[in-house]
Structures are given as structure tokens and as C-alpha cells.
Amino acid sequence: MKQNGTVQISPNVTIVMDGNGNRYKNSLSQDGLLYIANYLLGNIEEKINYIAVGDSKEQTTVNTKRLGNERFRKPFTDSYLNGLDPYFETFFSVSDANFDWKEMGLFAHGTEEKDSGILIARVLVNERKTNSKTASVTWKFRISNP
């Protein structure tokens, strides 16, 4: 197999509620790209550790630094490597984040405080989370050498 020397990172989010799953493509923020560059240089100690959910439909740009209107955040339930692909998984109970989800963000060096940390990636979604539903969110970074 011939490789062209280009590394591609494709982040995808899958949200499963009531057995139905939706997949969303998203992009890395400029701060997310800088995080990866610094990681390659060994300059990163902060882990990617929080997911946040909001209700803004504001479009994402490379310079987006936070969610448009963050309403809920929590640490990941699990993170792991599957082949070359890092996965971040989070379970939302029936009492978590009950509102219409329009955006999600992945943060490094975050805390429980709203808008804290470095926004690695943001995605626009369209999901209705209620107190009768649980949700499983999987954030996958597909890494390839096309």
C-alpha cells in the first residue's frame, strides 16, 4: 500500500437515544489543532477530559473557542484507543442534560465550570433529550494516512 505522507484526522460523533443512533461529522478548532501540535512536541500535560452540551445553532468556525450556549458538561465515562482511533464515550442518565441539544464540544483541561478548558472540537447536532431517555455519546477521531 502506497502512503502519501499526509495524516488525516476525521472526528465523528455518534449519539444513541432509545436505541436510535445519529452520526455527526465535525471539525477540529484552531485550538484543537494547536493542542495536537503541542502534544506531538511533548508540551501537553492536559488531557481531553470533558464533554459539554448546549443549545446554540451558531455555526462553528476554526476560531471558535467555546460553545455558543453551554448548558451541561461532564467528564467522559471512558476513553480508549481502538487501532489508531481514539474514542471518548459518555453516558447521560435520565437526569442529565434534559433539553434540545444543538451543539456539543470536546474539551481538554476542563473542569465542571462552564466554558472551562481548551475547545478541541465542536459539532452541531439535533437531538431532544428528555427525562425519559438516556443517551450514549461516542466521539471518535479517525486517524489515517490516505
CA torsion 32-143-48-50 (nearest 10°) is: 90
User: Does residue 61 sit in helix, strand or coil?
Assistant: coil
Q: Distance (Å, rounded) from C-alpha 50 to C-alpha 64? A: 17
Q: What percent of the chain has pLDDT over 90?
A: 75
State pLDDT tens for residues 15-34: 999 889 999 998 888 999 99
Can you list the alpha helix ranges (DSSP code H) found in the chain? 30-40
Task: Give Cα 80 to chain centroid, integer Å.
Answer: 14
What length is written for the chain?
Answer: 146
Q: Give residue-wise pLDDT tens across range 103-118.
A: 999 999 999 999 999 9
Local confidence band at 2 (pLDDT 50, 70, 90 cut-offs): low
- Domain ranges in the chain are 9-144
Helix, strand, or coil here: 54?
strand
